[in-house]
Amino acid sequence: MDVLLDIAEPGEAAKPHDPRPEDQRRVVGIDLGTTFSLAAAIDQKHKPRCIPDEKGRCSLPSVVYFDPKEGENGVTVGHSALALGRTDPQHTVASVKRLMGRGLGEIEAAELRLPYALEASDGGMVRLKMQHRHLSPVEVSAEILKHLKQRAEAALGGSLYGAVVTVPAYFDEAQRQATKDAGKLAGLNVLRLVNEPTAAALAYGLEQEQEGTFAIYDLGGGTFDISILKLSKGVFQVLSTGGDAALGGDDFDHALMEFLLKTMGQDNPDPGLIQTALHAARQAKEALTETQTTTITLPLPDGSRFHHELTRDAFDGLIKKLVRATGLPCRRALKDAGLKPQDLKGVVLVGGSTRVPLVRQFVADLFKQAPYADLDPDQVVALGAAHQADLLAGNDRSGLLLLDVTPLSLGLETMGGMVEKVIPRNSPVPTARAQEFTTFKDGQSAMAIHVVQGEREMVNQCRSLARFELRGIPPMTAGAARIKITFQVDADGLLTVAAREETTGVEQSIEVKPSYGLTDDEIETMLRDALEHGEADVQSRLVSEARVDAERVIHAIESALKQDGDLLNPEERAGVDQAIETLRQVAQLDDHQAIQDQVQSTDKATTFFAQRRMDRNVRAAMTGHKVDDFA
């Protein structure tokens, strides 16, 4: 693995673990993914590198476990949460990105099997109902971002100046605002939201090409994006975008999971079996990337085990319709850019789901050329975001210009419930456009303004973003007033709308805050609470982590007793049972050090049992063999 950072003694030119000179700001690029999330930074050689955890793992599973016994402080993120999710799925949230900025009706229409209940919040965004608390997807995502922020600050040797966070190109206003809210709640200064395909192009260093047009095919865990980029002398211009914010590798997993449950005859499976089947489906998908056949084994409720041999051809049959569904956005994006497949200089693959052989073959057939896959598709987005963060912080003065586009049209409701598009989709951002409207009735002194987003012609077929009123219009005959409405979209793709009556100068503006986002007051309250209870939260987290460790040890010993309890005589068994009970009681204390000490004591007290199990396994392996057979 490449070394990310150099180490210097205190007082020398670079701070410990700081990859950049003293006068340059610490920034990171973050890929907040559906399945995995990553953070990356620029190293001393001006190259982007992913920031690993203490075990050298760059990818952080986008999974958060909320311990029902610990209240608001019992939060576990990443690999540990993934493991806990198999035994306590009702309190484990995975793939939360698919819920960001979404209402209850939209989630229900997607027919996702989720191990927890959902409800609509006052603001419209869906909330997750758990035994001890109700959470918004923004709060769950903030925990993932907080974890990556802590990892980055530990590696870079100090507080972050800011971060660039990536979003799918096809994320709408509500989803983008929700992502920015999550960053704010995590304590991050979000310098910019950058579309994932554009970040991937940056990572590939395509700016070094003098000229060329490329397609970025991005199939992640929960979303699909296609972007057509024109690259010329350091300028990245996005010509068009398309995609599906509810299509990704998770759907491959769910298709295989449903097939397995049906084959097992499980019409109404419990949440634990669903999660087990989903985990097995994901493992089978990954195995079939390299092999033609894999065997899936699952426990059945009656105690027996289900075995199924799955071929790559059978798996391809299950996902073929989903893979083909990516073709329509691709063809539309090419049409919007005025191009044909043969006009492209190359096709770049992004996202872990592009490892699936059927996907790669489909892309090659669709674009009539073999795609680029040189960089790790899981890391490429975070690496590109690190480039952009370095530029925005002023560390990189290469002058690279990034021109992104709006993913969906923005407009207003007019009489009859129709939509008047003010900013068409695929317009370069930042941008500002104005349009004049007038009154409908004689003497009308106010106008209701309804801002919407979408491609359909009727308001009820588009996403409602905001409503406000312009008052103080001078009474005139219908059609005489001149009301200028201006739309401004910033570099993050976020919108401000202003309305002005031209004859009087009466003006009203609104920063569009989609109804599915958190209000500033809600975020401020959460941040203030976090600050006020910071020290207590740290202690509670330590206790929570120690309890998780204790539960892991108890579960491991109890499983061993079920399997090999006959290795112990009654006196020894009583001693092991007592050690478990003592650990269980100590784990209820609010003293993390006492719990850790008891965990170590329990390990020591059961070492002899572990040794006997090992001896039994060795003897079983040796049966029928000579020692020389293992030489």
Alpha helices in 231-303 (DSSP H): 249-264, 271-287
Q: Say if residues 341 and 365 touch (Cβ distance below 8 Å).
A: no
Alpha helices in 160-248 (DSSP H): 173-185, 196-203
Tell me if residue 22 is catalytic.
Answer: no
Give CA angle at 316 (310, 318), nearest 5°.
Answer: 85
Cis peptide bond prior to 430, omega within 30° of 0 = yes
Cα–Cα dist 247/563, whole Å: 42
Choice among 15, 88, 97, 492 that is catalytic = 97
* SS3 at position 62: coil
Tell me if residue 590 is catalytic.
Answer: no
Choice among 18, 31, 250, 545 that is catalytic = 31
* SS3 at position 600: helix
**Phi, psi values for residue 454, rounded to 5°:** 150, 180
**Whole-Å CA distances, 606 to 521, 549, 615:** 52, 16, 15
Choice among 18, 67, 143, 196 that is catalytic = 196
Q: Say if residues 202 and 218 touch (Cβ distance below 8 Å).
A: no
Structural element, H or E, at residue 167: strand 162-167
Tell me if residue 469 is catalytic.
Answer: no
Amino acid at 406: T
Tell me if residue 97 is catalytic.
Answer: yes
Cα–Cα dist 95/81, whole Å: 13
Choice among 139, 218, 251, 378 that is catalytic = 218
Q: Say if residues 375 and 204 touch (Cβ distance below 8 Å).
A: yes
Buried residues in 541-560 as b, exposed as e (16+ CB within 10 A): bbbbbbbbbbbebbeebeeb
Q: What are the beta bridge partners of residue 498?
A: 486, 509
Give CA angle at 521 (516, 524), nearest 5°.
Answer: 110
* SS3 at position 478: coil
Alpha helices in 171-245 (DSSP H): 173-185, 196-203
Cα–Cα dist 12/174, whole Å: 46
Amino acid at 415: M
DSSP 187-225: T--EEEEEEHHHHHHHHTTGGGSSEEEEEEEEE-SS-EE
Q: Residue 15: how many CB atoms within 10 A of its CB? A: 18
Catalytic residues: 31, 97, 196, 218
